[in-house]
Amino acid sequence: MASDRKRAYLEALEAGMKYVWNEVIKMASRGYSSTELGVMAKTRLATIHRDVEAVATKLDESGVPVGGEEGEVSERGSYLVNEEKADAVYGHFRDLLKAGARGLAITRTHPADVAKRFQFGDVESIWLSRTADTAKAGDVAIADPTNLVALAGAVIAFLEAGGNAAVVLEGLEYLVSLNGFGSVLRFLQTLNEKVVVKDSYLLISANADALKEQEYKLLAKGMAGEL
């Protein structure tokens, strides 16, 4: 029993230290000065009890997260997956497919390569490309990433074909670079509304460090959660 308590304590300590240093890395990578970092760190330290209280409200008496494990898709809606490269987002997508959801993958790389790597099976795909040779693409649908109206229409058509759909989007920063943040935000808001109505899922791979802090906050504001 004592060894179990010791292991639980050490695991919690390790998780806490990893969280703190990841936060430091994120702040440092955004170009804050040492003075700004010091002020932000002191502010976070003074309000850490609020973070603890927020986590406490999500746990039952045994310490298990209510409504699903932490870091999992627990309800219908749209989610941001904060990562440098699209890996975890496809893992969540695959889990939804295994649970019976209809899948649509919107990718920056060739969908066949993505499907093979993550073992999706039979899903519909849209390849974001401005230079792809349609003759060599075969049955893969190609979308011009600068035409967000057409892309939104294709996704909405998939959602309206039936409920319990799962849509994964890779290449958010790419879309922002081509269309501007405002246009991409409106595009995602449109999709989010349809996802909610159709009782489905939208998983978006997004690197917070590649976006302005305020932009990422605006994206996260309308989502069901962050993973």
Nearest to residue 96, comparing CAs of 117, 77, 116? 77
Are β-strands 102-107 and 165-169 bridged in parallel, bridged antiparallel, or unpaired? Answer: parallel
**Containing H/E element for 42?**
helix 34-46
Contact between 183 and 218 under an 8 Å Cβ cutoff? The reply is no
Q: Is the pLDDT of residue 3 over 70?
A: no
Q: What is the residue extent of each domain of the chain?
A: 2-56, 77-226
Tell me which of 61-65, 122-126, 128-132, 150-154 is least confident: 61-65
Q: Average pLDDT in the 33-54 region?
A: 66
Nearest to 195 by CA among 152, 226, 136: 152
Per-residue pLDDT of 87-105, as tens digits, reads 999 999 999 999 999 999 9
Res. 49 pLDDT band, cuts 50 70 90: low
Output the pLDDT for position 135.
46
Q: Which span out of 26-35, 120-129, 200-209 was modeled with the highest average pLDDT?
A: 200-209
Mean of the per-residue pLDDT values of the chain: 81
Examine the pLDDT at 19 and tell me if it is beyond 80: no
Percent of the chain predicted with pLDDT > 90:
42
pLDDT: which is higher, 65 or 47: 47
Question: What is the C-alpha to C-alpha distance for residues 114 and 56, in angstroms, rounded to an integer?
Answer: 38
Q: What confidence tier does 178 reach under pLDDT thresholds 50, 70, 90?
A: very high
pLDDT level of residue 221 (50, 70, 90 thresholds): confident
Classified by CATH at the fold level, domain 77-226 comes out as Rossmann fold (3.40.50)
Q: What confidence score (pLDDT) does residue 122 get? A: 82
